[in-house]
Amino acid sequence: MGWLVETWEQPSGSDASQDAQLVWPDPSAARLRVAVLDGVTPTRRCHEVVGVPGPMYAAAVTRVALQRAGSGLTDGVLAANRHLHDPAVARSRDQAQTCVTAADVFPDGRVEVVRAGDCEAWARTAAGWQPLGTGTALTRATEAAWQRWQDGNAHVDRDRRHDAEEHFLGRADAWTSTALGRFPQPALRSFSLTGVTELVVASDGARLVERALGDLAGWLEGLRAWEQRRRHLWRAAEKAHDDVTVVRLTRASQAATLALAA
């Protein structure tokens, strides 16, 4: 397909990662489909499926849904949401759910992206880095209210945090894009860009900002140390670390130029 693909993965601790990735050349179309999936940390009420934790199951279902030859990105994520959402589960926070950002990448540098939840994508063109769904997936008002609650409840346990998440975030209109499985109808964001020479798709645990993209490997290598330096900022049962999955695509012509320059 004319793209160099690199991936990074790191679990948050000793347990298996709830993140996943997809790198799939669609045999029915001249496109490469990539995705990063971030299973949402389960509550105590989140069910397992044949022994598989809800977040891992949700990510696996979504990966399969995105590998339907010839299907569009939106078709894939909507199919995953239909399978995952359980109307018998009263609280949205208790659903088995996963965030995902998926992209179709074409040999001519065209990129199409769909975002569900808070995974993110950055694309590089001649004009520099362009954000394609980055940062929080909450609306501005909801994000402000949620931040205030966390500031005022720094020492609660994880169960209390999940209860508060349902209170503040348990409505679809609190989000600009929603994790698959959380609501009957997901909120999605779509992006399209041409002239792309590099694409980075990442789970939110990578904590990417634009300045990190110039030395992505170096940033990820130092990520855990950076998180430790921020320990005094942890609030309301916030996780010190998160699972990390990153996929970077570089057009072959651009990769060759960089190699020669090095």
Q: Which helix (H) or strand (E) holds 131?
A: strand 128-131
Strand order in the sheet with 111-116: 19-26, 31-39, 98-105, 111-116, 189-193
pLDDT for res 99: 98
Place of tokens 């989140």: 46
Chain length of the chain: 262
For the chain, give the mean pLDDT.
93
Tell me the per-residue pLDDT of 21-71, one tens digit each, with 9 for 90 and over: 999 999 788 899 999 999 999 999 999 999 999 999 999 999 999 999 889
In whole angstroms, how far apart are CA 173 and each of 70, 140, 141, 214?
31, 11, 11, 35
Using the predicted structure, report yes or no on whether residue 261 has a pLDDT greater than 60.
no
Please list, in sequence order, all residues whose beta carbon lies within 8 angstroms of the beta carbon of residue 181, skipping any fewer than 6 positions away: 58, 80, 81, 84, 85, 86, 95, 96, 97, 98
Do residues 125 and 75 touch, judged by C-beta distance below 8 A? Answer: no
pLDDT of residue 178: 98
Domain that holds residue 223: 3-261
**Total domains present in the chain:** 1
pLDDT at 258 over 70: no
pLDDT band at 254 (very low <50, low <70, confident <90, very high): low
pLDDT of amino acid 55: 96
What is the residue type of 102? A
The percent of the chain in helix, strand and coil, each rounded to the nearest 5, is 35, 25, 40
Shortest CA distance to 201 belongs to which of 256, 110, 255, 132? Answer: 132
pTM above 0.85, yes or no: yes
| Model confidence pLDDT, tens digit, residues 123-172 | 999 999 999 999 999 999 999 999 999 999 988 999 999 999 999 999 99
**Domain containing residue 101: CATH number:** 3.60.40.10
* Averaged pLDDT for residues 241-252: 94
Phi-psi domain of 133 (left: phi exceeds 0; alpha: psi -120 through 50; beta: other): left
State the residue for tokens 């359980």.
86
Quickly state the pLDDT bin for 256 (edges 50, 70, 90): low
